[in-house]
């Protein structure tokens, strides 16, 4: 077991444990901060896979953006004086049952598949390669995402703002 493996297991553990906390803790704030850890873990896994740029983006966008958004959400939808910002659960038994089967099937098929595996190649300059791809082959996607963000902006603004009464 090399250092690579140890780091992998570390990040994997962080990811999975914190994800477990995210979905199991009753306290929303706890859960939001666990999510932060999860994102970190995933980011680490990206790094292990040689996706350095992606790892950074993960942290920037998720931690800097999405998570903050979520926290805002939590704050805005719960009275701050309310000490135990807790939330109930439902569907636990069918969920465990269903997802148990679902997860088991998934793990079974994932592991049993003979994936196309070659030697792990870690490209050095992912950032420039990604940049190139983004503006050549995937320029359409790039534009599409721009419009998507615009729509998200308009949509979010229009639905969240207070109506003129």
User: Could you tell me how far CA 29 lies from the centroid of its own chain?
Assistant: 17
What length does the chain have?
Answer: 165
Please pick, from the candidates 10, 33, 37, 73, the single residue that binds other proteins as defined by CB under 8 A: 73
CB of 103 to other proteins, least distance (A): 4
Q: Is 40 in the site for other proteins (CB under 8 A)?
A: no
Contact pick of 81, 90, 124, 165 for other proteins (by CB under 8 A): 90
Binder of other proteins out of 65, 80, 81, 82 (CB under 8 A): 65
112 touching other proteins, by CB under 8 A: yes
Question: Among 82, 83, 110, 124, which residue sits at the site for other proteins (rule: CB under 8 A)?
Answer: 110
Structure token digits, residue 138: 């995937």
User: Minimum Å distance from CB 80 to other proteins?
Assistant: 14
Geometric angle at alpha carbon 33, from 75 and 90, rounded to 5°: 75
Burial code (b: 16+ CB inside 10 Å, e: under 16) for 116-126 equals eeeeeeeeeee
**Contact predicate 14/34, CB 8 Å:** no
């Amino acid at each position: 077991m090399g250092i690579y493996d140890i780091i992998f297991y570390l990040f994997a553990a962080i990811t999975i444990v914190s994800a477990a906390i995210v979905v199991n803790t009753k306290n929303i704030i706890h859960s939001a901060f666990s999510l932060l850890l999860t994102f970190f873990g995933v980011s680490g896994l990206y790094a292990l896979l040689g996706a350095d740029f992606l790892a950074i983006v993960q942290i920037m966008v998720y931690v800097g953006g999405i998570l903050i958004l979520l926290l805002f959400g939590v704050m805005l939808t719960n009275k701050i004086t309310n000490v135990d910002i807790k939330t109930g659960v439902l569907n636990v038994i069918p969920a465990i049952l269903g997802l148990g089967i679902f997860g088991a099937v998934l793990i079974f098929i994932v592991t049993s598949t003979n994936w196309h595996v070659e030697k792990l190649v870690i490209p050095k300059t992912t950032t420039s390669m990604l940049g190139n791809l983004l503006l050549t082959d995937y320029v359409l996607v790039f534009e599409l995402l721009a419009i998507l963000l615009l729509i998200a902006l308009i949509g979010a603004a229009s639905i969240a703002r207070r109506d003129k009464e």
